[in-house]
Amino acid sequence: MTKLYIEKLTDTPTPKQQTKFSAGMDIHAVIEDALGTVMISPHQTVMIDTGLLMQPESGYHVEIFIRSSLAYKLNTGLANAVAVIDRDFENEVKILLHNNGNNFVTINHGQRIAQLQLKKTEPVEIIEVDELPELDSDRTGGYGSTGK
CATH label of the domain that carries residue 85: 2.70.40.10
Answer whether residue 135 is part of any domain: no
- For each of the chain's 148 residues, which pLDDT tens digit applies? 899 999 999 999 999 998 999 999 999 999 988 789 999 999 999 999 999 999 999 999 999 999 999 999 999 999 999 999 999 999 999 999 999 999 999 999 999 999 999 999 999 999 999 999 887 766 566 666 666 5
Answer whether residue 133 is part of any domain: no
* Domain count for the chain: 1
Which residue from 67, 40, 50 is spatially nearest to 109, judged by alpha carbons? 50
DSSP string, 15-58: P--SSTT-SSEEEE-B--STTSEEEE-TT-EEEEE--EEEEEPT
Answer whether residue 115 is part of any domain: yes
Answer whether residue 112 is part of any domain: yes
Answer whether residue 74 is part of any domain: yes
C-alpha span between 25 and 27 (Å, rounded): 7
C-alpha span between 97 and 65 (Å, rounded): 10
pTM: 0.84
Residue numbers of the domain that contains 101: 4-14+24-120
Please give the DSSP secondary-structure letter assigned to residue 141. Answer: -
Answer whether residue 129 is part of any domain: no
